Amino acid sequence: MTSWDPAQYERYSAERNRPAIDLISQIGGKPAEIWDLGCGSGSVTRMLAKKWPAAIVHGLDSSEEMLTQARRIHGIDWVLEDLTDWTPPSPIDLLFSNAALQWLGDHENLFPRLADAVAPGGTLAVQMPRNFGEPLHTLLAETARAPAWRHLADRLTRPISVAEPAFYHRMLRSRFETLDIWETSYLQVLGGPDPVANWARGTAARPYLDALGEAAEDFMADYAARLRVAYPPLEDGTTLFPFNRLFVLAVKG
């Protein structure tokens, strides 16, 4: 299982949280119960609880490291469980997930299962990265295939799990009264040396860092050198980092 570093993940919290804020702003109604699937360190779960203070709010994650951080936020039920094994105790008014479901495969079965967990009149709200053809990911796989690291490629390079928007429309259109699916490309402006590599340390590169142990920094140096070519710094020292996100907002009748 991948280990997580809450401090590293939250290094770019403003950029990581913006899609969640944009999605939350589109959700209507007054849900009595909310589940945040893949809640991480809880910063977005706290936003949900703040918007709907009367709701019972649960945050679910499989990382004890992340939940240790999240438990500093009171008034929310924090649940340590793998989403692949999770079954809701009852139909849910708002089923929310921000930047988590891309880690799971088999979306053809996952999304109908989540749809079935939504109560009548309830909402499914999901945001996932859809940038797996960008250098952030392609250069990670390329680095893993390099002679020094090729032993990692077969077992750690993951297939693309997030499909095109029409795929989710086909799966969900008959299960919800209203279905809104859109994409947004955020042109993120990051500061500091090797910011894209540091971004990847908090997410995509985590399985490689776990597997390499003492050799992890050598791997990251190789990867960072490739990223600097793909994402060169500007004259002012900042780096432009485009990032595409897929949103699903579905409401049952």
| CA gap 213, 216 in Å, rounded | 5
Place of tokens 């749809």: 115
pLDDT value at position 148?
A: 87
| CA gap 78, 41 in Å, rounded | 10
**DSSP, residue by residue, 211-248:** HHGGGHHHHHHHHHHHHHHHS-B-TTS-EEEEEEEEEE
Q: What is the mean pLDDT of residues 28-37?
A: 97
Q: What is the mean pLDDT of residues 227-232?
A: 98
Q: Which two tokens stand for residue 108?
A: 């053809």
pLDDT value at position 206?
A: 87
Query: Is 55 part of any domain?
Result: yes
For 127, the enclosing helix (H) or strand (E) is strand 118-129
Is residue 91 helix, strand or coil? coil
Exposure string of 99-110, with b = 16+ CB inside 10 Å and e = fewer, is: bbbbbbeebeeb
Per-residue pLDDT band at 8 (split at 50, 70, 90): low
Query: Is 100 part of any domain?
Result: yes
Query: Mean pLDDT in the chain?
Result: 92
Q: Give the CATH number for residue 200.
A: 3.40.50.150
Neighbours of 128 (CB within 10 A): 24
Strands 56-61 vs 77-80: parallel, antiparallel or unpaired: parallel
Q: Which residues contact 155 (CB under 8 A, 6 or more apart)?
A: none
Q: Domain of 36?
A: 6-251
Strands 56-61 vs 178-190: parallel, antiparallel or unpaired: unpaired
pLDDT digits (tens, 9 = 90+) for 98-135: 999 998 989 999 999 999 999 999 999 999 999 999 99
HEC string of 75-101 equals CCEEEECCHHHCCCCCCEEEEEEECCH
Entry pTM: 0.92
| Number of domains forming the structure of the chain | 1
Query: Is 1 part of any domain?
Result: no
Lowest pLDDT segment from 6-10, 164-168, 204-208, 231-235: 6-10
pLDDT digits (tens, 9 = 90+) for 173-229: 999 999 999 999 999 999 999 999 999 998 889 888 888 888 889 999 999 999 999
Higher pLDDT, 83 or 54: 54
